[in-house]
Structure 1
């Protein structure tokens, strides 16, 4: 997180406040010329510093509340009709290496789910982004009757999956609940999912936002499969 947007204006505002207080002190001592210059320059610097801080907060709030980051890439390879292999790649972080796993998926669409810990807007502004833990990868059918009778495929992304465990542990949620009465920063813990159509060679990126998961087509095969105003998230 970049802190300069409030450190520099804050330092200027502090200097202005000190000049202003010095000018007021000179006024009480009868030093009118020093008082005038102190109040004039101190007040001006203080006002400019406060205005810069407010502007910085406005910019920072927009940046944090619209922040997105990638959580997975899904690449599909068709084996037969309504049967695909989904290669799930999770990106490298500062603490852990990237990971890749392959899952068999039946159906017309893939679906990825996650638990999301969402912070309140003021906590976002301070730099706390939405936390997540990938939960499962599954296939789904466009036809509801097939969904009831056809082969299902659901894969747990928690358990021994190092890539998902590294993203978020329940300790974050437990601590936030325990101290919620003192620091009410947690908005909600909820489930989020994104699903997109499967096609041979299609590749998608899954992103976490402050509102949950979203999915985007990456290559031409994915764009063709998801053309026509296809709903990406739920």
Structure 2
């Protein structure tokens, strides 16, 4: 299971903005609650320290303004982080499938698996029965607060198979199934039954990218919700 963390200069700017927002928030709270110490000598000659809270108009207005700025900065940062998480799709694989001449419903499929940075992990060619291909995998969708930290949905490619255009053939003909990366590996059992997952994982499910064997190259991406194919330019 790969769990990408969104990085880059924009992500760094958001983290710095969030840190500044938290610092301003703490500063505004301290400013509104801070008092001053009055020192005097009582009638018995003892030194007495008395702490008094200052709530002058200038202090209150300055503290409230700082509080508003801090909350606004944190809100803008969280919205920007959520948008970045929703639009930062991760490259997963590249697929090119071509129908073999003289062999109906049989395709030669090239599959290149990529890591979360787009670097090649493996490149293999398969003979797959069918008219279209399915690249399947598992998705672990994290809670929104984890996406705000830059943590993308986790994913793992588990299966490559074929599908026929004719529903009758799809019901009766043999299918090709290629297990990738060890398959499901008890993914659903471990995720659903593990007590640690509930605060962090919103959903765990299977998903597939599907496209015809038309000889065109496709780039496969994973979004926050699942896999999808996109014709390569």
TM range (shorter): 0.7 to 0.9
Structure 1 residues 48 and 82: CA distance shift in structure 2, 3 A: same
- Aligned mates of 1:61, 1:30 — CA distance in 2: 40
Q: Following superposition of structure 1 onto structure 2, how do residues 52-91 of structure 1 map, counting pairs within 5 Å? A: 52-80=73-101, 81-91=104-114
Q: Following superposition of structure 1 onto structure 2, how do residues 18-33 of structure 1 map, counting pairs within 5 Å? A: 18-22=30-34, 25=36, 29=52
Instruction: Report the count of equivalent residues.
Output: 206
Unpaired runs of at least 5, structure 1 = 220-234
- Aligned mates of 1:155, 1:175 — CA distance in 2: 25
**Residue in 2 that maps onto 1:198:** 213
CA deviation after TM superposition for structure 1 residue 176, in Å: 8.2
CA deviation after TM superposition for structure 1 residue 175, in Å: 9.7
1:180-222 residue CA offsets vs partner (Å, 9 max, x unmatched): 4xx522122211112111113x111111111111111225xxx
**Residue in 2 that maps onto 1:184:** 199
TM-score normalised to structure 1 length: 0.74
TM-score normalised to structure 2 length: 0.75
CA deviation after TM superposition for structure 1 residue 93, in Å: 4.6
Q: Which has the higher strand share?
A: 2
- Aligned mates of 2:61, 2:126 — CA distance in 1: 69
Q: Following superposition of structure 1 onto structure 2, how do residues 126-145 of structure 1 map, counting pairs within 5 Å? A: 126-145=149-168
- Aligned mates of 1:143, 1:106 — CA distance in 2: 13
Q: Which has the higher helix share?
A: 1
SS in 2 for 1:8: helix
Relative contact order (C-alpha < 8 Å, sep 6+): which is higher?
A: 2
Structure 1 residues 177 and 31: CA distance shift in structure 2, 3 A: closer
Unpaired runs of at least 5, structure 2 = 1-5, 38-50
Q: Specify the structure having the higher radius of gyration (Cα).
A: 2
